[in-house]
Amino acid sequence: MMTAVCCVDLCKTYRQGDQDIKALDHLSIEVARGGFVCLSAPSGGGKTTLLNAIGGLDIPDSGEVYVNEQRIDNLSKGDLADLRLRQIGFVFQAYNLIPVLTAAENVEFVMQVQGVAAGERNEKARAILKEVGLEGLESRRPAQMSGGQQQRVAVARAVASRPALILADEPTANLDSKTSEGLMELFLELNERHGSTFIIASHDQRVMSYAKRLIRMLDGQIVEDIDQRAA
Amino acid sequence: MRLFMVLFQLAWRNLWRNHRRTIVMLSAISVGVWAMIFMTALTRGMVDQMIVDGIKALPGHVQMHHPNYPDDPSINNPLPISDDELEERFGDAGFLAWASRVKVPAVITSERDSRGITLLGIDPAAERDLTFVNYEQVDGRFLADENDNGIVIGRKLAASLETQIGKRVVVMSQDPDNDIADRGFRVVGLYEASTGAVEEAYAFVGKRTAQKMLRIEGGTSEVVFVGDDYRDVDSVYESVVAAVDKTVVVNRWYDVDTYLGTMMNVMDGFVLVWVVVIFLALSFGLVNTLVMAVFERVREIGLMLALGMKPASILGQIIIESMLLLALGLAIGDALAFASIVPLSGGIDISFVGEGMEMFGAASVLYPKLYMNDIVLANVVVLVLGFLASLSPAWRASRYEPVEALAKVG
């Protein structure tokens, strides 16, 4: 099976005051293409650090990171930006959208930077917004939308350019339970329909219940790796 | 190009995100640009007037003299070329105007007082386009021809001498043998000049009359040539030089009157310094605005970097934002400058400070001069220095680490 993400012996230490915090402690992980993985850990357990390392947002102190079989931990900032632009979609916990752009423009943003022609990206943006249930809200700015709607726009943006890998960091943290469930249903649907690999960092039980594979982390190490489809 | 459009769109919308701050900054830039151009136009107008008056007050654009005349401007150093020869050489040369003159230091005496003056023996017809005197506005009359026996003096000189039209004055100078050469003249006209100093300095008589008085039949002191533009006299100079030999010296006006020449160069430097000084004051506001704009958008910048926008694009976005702000400010400032200068093109009466201005040769009516070069200079300086000033906040924004920027509490 083709590998979407492979991390080998990752270490990352942060300094907090006088203390060194091991966010990743010799962690290795492999995620197959089309996977739907939830990283679960208590706060400070290293899930966001791992997500950032996979997304090329942060460089580990040691170890190797591969995305779609390309080693990325030794890439330059410019190459990492290019990788994120073309191969990875991000959904963050909050502040996901650019406030001065409308919902449609936010969805188009990544494609616009990629250089996709206006007609094509507009069509794609409208289609994906419809898919995430935001038809008719294309012209609204983030401030005119609810938190759930904003997260849906962020999801639409993350999947609009069909990246192979979508990373979501606590995507339901600021959402009520109904909206959270709707978002997870959407993730699952997009995963199944488009075959994109999803890695979601969360300590929300509802999110974990949707994951096909659940990886529990503690102190920067994987303590449990469960294939939930089998369960 | 597509990326530029993205950056342009973001920059433009971000500009109006905090519209109150943008309007305040726009106002500051507009007023600053207006001040740059308006004050430059006033100063240009004043200096131009001083130079034009100065040039008209005798130098012309190019002058020709005996080689010893610049050091000893007396009748002992006459031009070695006769009027007939001058006519032959320069009659069809295509100058705007030219004339030969007798020009000697002299003393003028009325029954009340006496003053040192420069006596000018002129051909009124040839001199009409060279002189600062408006023949039609002379009290009494101007000289009729070069054989006129009357004298035309300035109003201020007439007041100093306590004389008036119709009264007689005596003019004394030296002949080529260093003997006293004097003659009585009836005052036939009083001229008005832009400054009292000029009115006191020069007295006009007919050229032939002056030659007879000084016993230099046919002799002259200088020839003056005028072209189209006092800023570009090289073509006139080269034409004159080509037509004469080493028995005469030819000078441009700024070599003859170095004070005026220096003034022109100093003015160009002054305009640049003035524009830069105003901009420096503006730049604090501009940099502050950009720093605030960047500071408020740290997480947004982090998001864009995380989504794959390159640091260079973030840099470009902030710079475009700054350039848009400056371009808008420039457009408004330029329009304000035009709107305020054009109605004043008829002149501003500054006679209430006239005496002070006269001390350095300025007239009592100020005509603002709006030069395209000055507008371009102000605009270019603002854009170039604005670009440089915005580099620092833009650079800082582009250096953010996405993870750290996204983690900022804001």
pLDDT digits (tens, 9 = 90+) for A200-213: 999 888 889 999 99
pLDDT of residue B361: 55
Residue ranges covered by each domain of chain A: 3-95+164-227
pLDDT of residue B173: 94
CB-CB neighbors (< 8 A) of A105 in chain B:
9
Residue B297 has which token pair?
A: 């958008």
Nearest to A57 among B13, B17, B403 (CB): B403
pLDDT of residue A71: 94
Task: Please check whether residue B59 is in contact with residue B199, taking contact to mean a CB–CB distance below 8 angstroms.
Answer: no
For chain B, which residues lie within 8 Å of any Cβ of chain A, measuring from their own Cβ? 2-3, 5-6, 9-10, 13-14, 17, 299-300, 303-311, 313, 402-403, 406
pLDDT in tens, A142-198: 999 998 899 889 988 988 888 889 999 988 887 788 878 888 888 888 888 888 899
- pTM for the full predicted model: 0.74
List all residues 6 or more positions away from B242 whose beta carbon is below 8 Å from its beta carbon.
none
Q: Domain A3-95+164-227: state its class.
A: alpha beta
pLDDT in tens, A33-81: 999 999 999 888 889 999 999 999 999 999 999 999 899 999 998 899 9
Q: What element of type H or E holds B366?
A: strand B365-366
Pairing mode, strands A213-218 and A36-40: parallel
Question: d(Cα B80, Cα B100) in Å, to the nearest integer?
Answer: 12
Question: d(Cα B206, Cα B121) in Å, to the nearest integer?
Answer: 5
Task: Please check whether residue B133 is in contact with residue B142, taking contact to mean a CB–CB distance below 8 angstroms.
Answer: yes
| Cα end-to-end distance, chain A, whole Å | 21
Task: Please check whether residue A66 is in contact with residue A5, taking contact to mean a CB–CB distance below 8 angstroms.
Answer: yes
Question: d(Cα B79, Cα B63) in Å, to the nearest integer?
Answer: 11
Determine the distance from the C-alpha atom of residue A87 to the mean position of all C-alpha atoms in its chain, rounded to a whole number.
11
Pairwise CB contact (< 8 Å): B303 & A115: no
Nearest to A98 among B5, B303, B311 (CB): B303
Tokens 């030794």 appear where? A74
pLDDT of residue B140: 94
* pLDDT band (50, 70, 90) for residue A13: very high
Residue ranges covered by each domain of chain B: 2-54+261-407, 60-256
* Residue B1 DSSP symbol: -
Pairwise CB contact (< 8 Å): A95 & B300: yes
CB-CB neighbors (< 8 A) of A78 in chain B:
310-311
Nearest to A115 among B2, B303, B309 (CB): B2
Give the amino acid at B30: S
pLDDT of residue B360: 55
Residue A23: other Cβ atoms inside 10 A = 26
Interface with chain B: mutation pick from A14, A47, A57, highest number of B CBs within 10 Å: A57
Nearest to A81 among B5, B6, B305 (CB): B305
Question: d(Cα A54, Cα A35) in Å, to the nearest integer?
Answer: 14
pLDDT of residue B277: 87
- In which residue ranges of chain B is pLDDT below 70? 57-59, 351-364, 409-410
pLDDT of residue B43: 86
pLDDT of residue B275: 83
For helices B311-341 and B2-15, the axis angle rounded to 10 degrees is: 60
Query: Which A residues 91-130 touch B at CB under 8 Å?
Result: 92, 95-101, 105, 109-110, 112-115
pLDDT of residue B409: 57
Pairwise CB contact (< 8 Å): B306 & A99: no
pLDDT in tens, A89-103: 999 887 679 999 999
